[in-house]
A and B are shown apart, each in its own frame.
Chain A
Amino acid sequence: MLELRNVSKTFNANTINEKRALSGLNLKLEEGDFVTVIGGNGAGKSTMMNAICGAWPLDEGQVLIDGKDVTRLPDYKRAAYLGRVFQDPMMGTAADMEIEENLAIAYRRGKTRHLCWGIRAKEREEYKELLKTLDLGLENRLRSKVGLLSGGQRQALTLLMATLKKPKVLLLDEHTAALDPKTAAKVLEISDRIIAENNLTALMVTHNMKDAIAHGNRLIMMNNGQIILDIRGEEKKKLTVDDLLRQFSVASGSEFSSDRALLS
């Protein structure tokens, strides 16, 4: 469903700040795979997400979605295939627009926008039903400005928006990192449900090892812009945090270094 072939990216090449963020990264996701991504600071997790989205041109390599080479497509064209939820709850929604307007914009992802009215009455009913499933009381606030919502509500709404038109791949980039633990758990639960119900292919970056183990059917660990561990199936089900830390030091030859990952 999603394939990264030998993807490399260096930031600030030929300067003192040169940083090789991805070096020859290879990854293949099968349809229905729910992959959690974990790694230390600067391992290349977010860079990989940005490479998939097309935030900038790659130095090397290819990105394929559903067998189609999208390497040269700009980000807004790739959006037809991708649903995205960002780390910052402010980033995924338009604060000065109403909840239903945000949903209506997401409803038209991958479609040419015309000079016809932007929301149809029929859609509103659909949005109401979907918002009801979030269980956050948003179904009665269709006309509220999104800026009035809490961070957790905004992330839940962004999740809906990312999956309103079924994406080929759902990308969750530390989407619960900015939320308090209770809200984070709730948003994760919603993510799990939406992914399962729609049988989505998903990639979730997290700094929380427990979450990485508890969710999805496959776990990859990154270090220095490469994938150093790829655990799936039965093996993943039996995984513990200690296993992960041990496997990390074996695979990378160093200690796992992420303050946030160890503290949480």
Chain B
Amino acid sequence: MEIMDLIRALPGSVAQGLIWGIMAIGVYITYKVLDYADLTVDGSIGTGGAVAVVMMLAGVNPYVALVCATAAGALAGLVTGLFHTLFGIPPILSGILTQLGLYSVNMRIMGASNKAINVNQYDLILSLRDIPHAILVSVIFVAVTIAVLYWFFGTEVGRAVRATGNNANMSRAQGINTNRMKVFGLVLSNALVGLSGALYAQYQGNADVNMGRGAIVIGLAAVIIGAVLFGKIFNNFALRMLSVVFGAILYFVVIAVVLWLGLETTDLKLISALIVALFLAVPYLQGRCRIRRAGKGA
């Protein structure tokens, strides 16, 4: 229980938070912008990691591998989108179906449940061996991601995607093909998730078929923590995305504290679930208190 142990663990939490922050921005796009609870994430993050690691082991340039991992994530989003729009499968179920299928796909890609990639033998973009460098690299990726998305959501197509999530009725009345916009959003979101998975696999030095288990909860935690803590001050769209990344960093800091307090890594899923439940409950309970107080005043 040395406080120094905790402080030594924090830079790693920040790096993880930044990398998972990219995934959390993907979750933000589906959950907040599109109003679509997409559970593909748990599978597509593993797909991103698997594609990147396998390609790099085969000697492919790490940046090319990163682009391919992103594209693989996009493909997973496309499948979910088509399940929903073409076959009329409800949002949550279409995500679950893709996620389940991706387990097999990820196993096929890797040929094993875990594939290690050694930082000494391969030219990795980032690794936990050099955390300051990893932080720098992930900050750059986060910044570029936010800049590109800020531009995209300001374009005619991007605004149509936002309108679709905000009011599908109005969107169709204004000539927007809302099904196509949903697919766009899912593709974009899962592309980011794939990218995040590829970066995270390199960071931890392996891709694992289970690396995505519970990822959606971490993504939601980041989105919700960001909204609860920064929602009032961050009004701009780019700042909203930044608050999601802050949310992800805070999540990993909380996890570091919990571990430091002596809990096992296997307890983390429970802790994650409780954190998300807590932050979802806060705005709701605040609202109820306000109603009760208003009632008393009357």
A interface residues with partner B (beta carbon < 8 Å): 53, 75-77, 79-80, 82, 84, 86, 90-97, 101, 104-106, 108-111, 113-118, 161-162
Contact = CB atoms under 8 A, between A and B. Distances in A.
A79 B172 contact: yes
Interface residues of B, number: 22
Contact of B162 (A76, A93, A94, A161): A94
A167 to B, nearest CB: 11
Nearest to A81: B175
A105 B174 contact: yes
11 contacts: A75-B172, A76-B176, A76-B178, A94-B162, A97-B159, A97-B162, A101-B159, A109-B174, A111-B175, A113-B176, A118-B155
B162 A113 contact: no
Nearest to A80: B175
Contacts of A111: 175
A24 to B, nearest CB: 27
Contacts of B160: 105, 113
A95 B167 contact: yes
Contact of A91 (B170, B177, B178): B170
Contacts of A84: 173
Interface of B: 152, 154-160, 162-163, 166-167, 169-178
Given A93-B167, A113-B160, A105 B154 contact: no
B162 A116 contact: no
* Chain A contact surface mostly: loop
Contacts of A108: 156, 174-175
B157 A161 contact: no
Nearest to B181: A113
Contacts of A109: 174-175
Contacts of A115: 152, 155-157
B154 A117 contact: yes
A224 to B, nearest CB: 27
B175 A79 contact: yes
Contacts of B175: 76-77, 79-80, 108-111
A116 B155 contact: yes
Contacts of B172: 75-76, 79
Contacts of B156: 108, 113-118
A121 to B, nearest CB: 14
A53 B172 CA distance: 10
B163 to A, nearest CB: 5
Contacts of A76: 171-172, 175-178
B167 A104 contact: no
A105 B167 contact: no
B210 to A, nearest CB: 36
A51 to B, nearest CB: 15
Contacts of B163: 94, 97, 101, 105
Given A105-B160, A161-B174, A86 B166 contact: no
